[in-house]
Structure 1
Amino acid sequence: MKLFDVLVAFASLSLLLLLGIALRKRLRWLRQLGIPEALVAGLLGLLVGPFGPWSIFPERVYAVWAQTPGVLISLVFATLFLGQRLPSPQELWRRAAGQTAFGMTLGFGQYLVGGVLVLAVLQPLFGTNPLMACLIEVGFEGGHGTAAGMGPTFRDLGLASGEALGLAMATVGVLAAVLIGSTLVVIGRSRQWLGQREARLAGAEAELSDPFSAENRLLMESASEKNQGEGITSESLTIDALTVNLALAGAAVGLGVLLKHGITQLGGELLEAIPVFPLAMIGGLLVQLTLQWRRQSQLASPLVQASLGSLAMDVLITAAMASLNLPLLEDNWLPFSLLALAGLAWNVAVFLLLGPRVFPDHWFERAIADFGQGTGVTATGLLLLRMADPSGRSRAMEGFSFKQLVFEPFLGGGLVTALAPIALVSWGLPLFSAVALALTAGSILFGLSLGRSR
């Protein structure tokens, strides 16, 4: 692979992103559906990608596109903790417990639904690979970035189409989360499940406060920077702040690589399938703790780290969707469709049946945010929350935000997501499904106990 091919690959991805931004600005229905610019760019890339109708680039360029997601997902996760000022464990848990229990029920239940469906129906009828039981959680809770990052793990364990199926599941999740979530908000208004004053303002506010747009993401990141204190000042260092923060993120990724090397040396061949990105997240936490210990926390800027993560995620999604292996989807379209429908049914059932019992106040607003994230992406949850509660009276945003610090290191792309396929291969699908059942039941009981105690 030549350096020139890498330059052409990233220049073409940049052009696709610019076209995606322009197209989303021009077409209002794309904004109303809540489709992010990167996904629009990726879908455009499908048309000129290796399996599209107008394949215009050399194979070497497409090879760079295919390898890009696995590299950038580590950078995305490395930035999660850098620059963050964590509250005390007691305060964090007090604010995030209910949302965490609800999210755990969604996530572990997606493994349960996938495991039971594959074990009882798909494997006997179609000979489906057992690893497809992980696709619902990877696509819905994890999203496009996680699906792309898990591609090498699926391939190493015997499911060559895992990345393509995961990306397709994530795309279905984003679209379904907006459409089904918006319908639930309309039903919630008619049933008076949410504040009527907020409901009357929801349409205009949701259009003006679109968390998917690049502009509003930057504004939110800027607000986060102001709330968390000043970053690097011009007097503190002669080196540029972006360079410092990129170096810190690179150090976090490097620690993740070292952690993987140590794990594979101790654990044998099966653990070689562990991806680097959850370990890069641990590396980021270690770097942040080191900065706090040395009283150099100002070196890690929340704004710059968030921008680095957003940049990596946008390029990742564009490259992953543009290089999507469509022929692999054709071979598994029926099992994939059944898994997607079962996952959506589970998420809606948890929202309607468990939400009112876990959250003692403003249950709809709190549950709809987690439904959006657990079906689509975090920004989908924010979009649905703003539709349901545009003025922020429920304070659901606070619990939803704190929940990410507790939840994301494990599910939705964290350690559990990374280790689940390995556990499935090691234990077998029946035991894996039984463990998923136990974890789901435990999460439900935990959430119900929190609801009663409050």
Structure 2
Amino acid sequence: MPQGLMLTDLAIAGFLLLIAKILRVHLPLLQRMYLPSAVLAGLIGLLLGPALANFLPWTNTFTANAGILTAALFSSLGLATDLPSPRIVAKRAGSLWAFNQIASVSQWLFAAMFGLFITTCFWPALNPAIGVTLSAGFMGGHGSATVVGDILTGLGWEDGFTLGLTFATIGIFVSISVGMLILQFALRMGWIDTFTTFASMDKHQRKGLIKPSEQPSVMKDTMSSLSVDSFAIHAALVVLVTAFSFVSANYLSSFSENVQIPTFVTGFLAGMFVRIIAKRTNANLYLCDEAFNHAAGISTDYLIIFGISAIKITVLAHYLLPMVILATGGIIFTLWLILWVAPRMLGKDWFEKGLFTWGWLTGTVAMGIALLRIVDPNMRSKVLDDYVIAYVPGSITDIFIISLMPIAMYNGMHWQAVGVGLSYIAIVLFVWRFVLNRNAWVNQQENT
């Protein structure tokens, strides 16, 4: 069990977040960049932290906070996630599930092999696992980057932690900036009629605020305050599952020196197990999913702050050119997925679904939602509804690839990883072509 979050670190991170939000509200330049407050806070923390000015009094263990918050994030997601039946997945979101699987797995394979190529041909002294830090940062954001960084650190390559966090930070900027260029291109191609420009947004949308008259409740009270505060019980579940994730991951990893079980795996699965028990006992009637979702949101924001603040500038200087080449290749490959593969797989509303996928393939799900709201402010396409259904079965694949790909690339099992990945993509393509498409045709005939 690692050291807990120190009050000093939380206070500094909270102060940075408040400053960042104030700047985001009052500076139009930051608003036009659609820059999340947590990213801005992290950049301030990096500037004033030990890597540069060394002004902020972070504790000596503040870099470990990202790992704790990652476990809390996935534990919260597990507590809020239902496992949909295969029939519902196939009927509602089959094509989106198939595309997401192909996009995520192929991005990991491309990044891994592209990294292997440039290290073999140009920088043989660099670690051949450098490619997975790109996909970890781009696809999974700071959470996955922290997981992969911890795995690579445990294997003996500490620089992988900084590289993954840096790619995650770059990915957020790429997600929005290139996403807006994609929107302009789509408008010229006639794929969309219009989109919500910055000029057409009201002052609340520009500042990242919600009108007082439209502000929803954070959660519902499910327990009497005479007994216990509702949020206290929800917080207790998140904390307990997060603690269990560390204990169980350490225990499972103790059986072999070559296997390291990430805490996000045990946290997510434990959260889902607790949710199943709650549903079987009807305890779920007194639990609020919004509370768990907000716990995941809080963990994500603070994770981003600690993750960016922990980046080591001296490490980046050593890897600068390979990182630029990797990032450029990753952007081009992901654009190909969105602009060529997506229209051939997603059918109706392919652009909205593809643009949302671009957001989380380069940044985070929040970036995908931000882009989706620009092109589809009324959520007519139901992309988020379909994504939620497709997310759970897809997340199982993510767990395996995030856990095993860094180990495979670090230990030289390159072609084994490629073989498994390509085989999985072939299976998904077969299911999409001969099962999901057939079910979609049957459903269409029934509706007519």
Considering the TM-score relative to the shorter chain, is it more than 0.5? yes
Is 1:247 equivalent to 2:236 in the alignment?
yes
Tell me the TM-score normalised to structure 2 length: 0.88
Q: Do 1:13 and 1:315's aligned partners in 2 also have CA atoms closer than 8 Å?
A: yes
Q: Which residue of 1 aligns with 2:332?
A: 345
Aligned residues with identical type, % of pairs? 24
Task: Report SS of the residue matched to 1:156.
Answer: helix
> CA 1:210/1:62 → structure 2, altered by over 3 Å: closer, same or farther?
farther
Report 1:388-399 matches (<5 A). 388-399=375-386
Which residue identity lines up with residue 135 of structure 2 in the other structure?
E
> CA 1:201/1:110 → structure 2, altered by over 3 Å: closer, same or farther?
closer
Q: Which residue of 2 aligns with 1:364?
A: 351
Q: Which residue of 1 aligns with 2:445?
A: none
> CA 1:206/1:158 → structure 2, altered by over 3 Å: closer, same or farther?
farther
Q: Do 1:206 and 1:386's aligned partners in 2 also have CA atoms closer than 8 Å?
A: no
Q: Which residue of 1 aligns with 2:278?
A: 291
Unaligned runs of 5+ in 1: none
CA distance in 2, matches of 1:202, 1:449: 40
Is 1:92 equivalent to 2:82 in the alignment?
no
Is 1:429 equivalent to 2:427 in the alignment?
no
Report 1:11-30 matches (<5 A). 11-30=11-30
Task: Report SS of the residue matched to 2:78.
Answer: coil
CA distance in 1, matches of 2:360, 2:354: 10
Report 1:120-135 matches (<5 A). 120-127=117-124, 128-135=126-133
Is 1:72 equivalent to 2:83 in the alignment?
no
Q: Which residue of 1 aligns with 2:303?
A: 316
Please list the CA deviations of residues 298-331 of structure 1 after superposition, one character each: whole Å capped at 9, or x if unmatched: 3432122122222222112111211211111111
Task: Report SS of the residue matched to 2:223.
Answer: coil
> CA 1:339/1:34 → structure 2, altered by over 3 Å: closer, same or farther?
same
Report 1:8-407 matches (<5 A). 8-52=8-52, 54-58=53-57, 61-85=58-82, 87-127=84-124, 128-194=126-192, 196=193, 199=194, 201=196, 203=198, 213=208, 222=217, 232-234=222-224, 238-266=227-255, 268-271=256-259, 273-407=260-394
Deviation at 1:243, TM superposition (A): 1.4
Unaligned runs of 5+ in 2: 441-448
CA distance in 2, matches of 1:394, 1:205: 21
CA distance in 2, matches of 1:367, 1:39: 24
Q: Do 2:338 and 2:355's aligned partners in 1 also have CA atoms closer than 8 Å?
A: yes
- Count residues in correspondence: 434
Q: Do 2:5 and 2:65's aligned partners in 1 also have CA atoms closer than 8 Å?
A: no
Deviation at 1:22, TM superposition (A): 0.8
Tell me the TM-score normalised to structure 1 length: 0.87
Task: Report SS of the residue matched to 1:410.
Answer: helix
CA distance in 1, matches of 2:293, 2:210: 13
> CA 1:364/1:282 → structure 2, altered by over 3 Å: closer, same or farther?
same
Q: Do 2:116 and 2:129's aligned partners in 1 also have CA atoms closer than 8 Å?
A: no
Task: Report SS of the residue matched to 1:79.
Answer: helix
Per mean C-alpha deviation after superposition, the further-off stretch among 430-439 and 371-380 is 430-439
CA distance in 2, matches of 1:214, 1:72: 25
Q: Do 1:351 and 1:371's aligned partners in 2 also have CA atoms closer than 8 Å?
A: yes
Deviation at 1:332, TM superposition (A): 1.0
Deviation at 1:276, TM superposition (A): 0.8
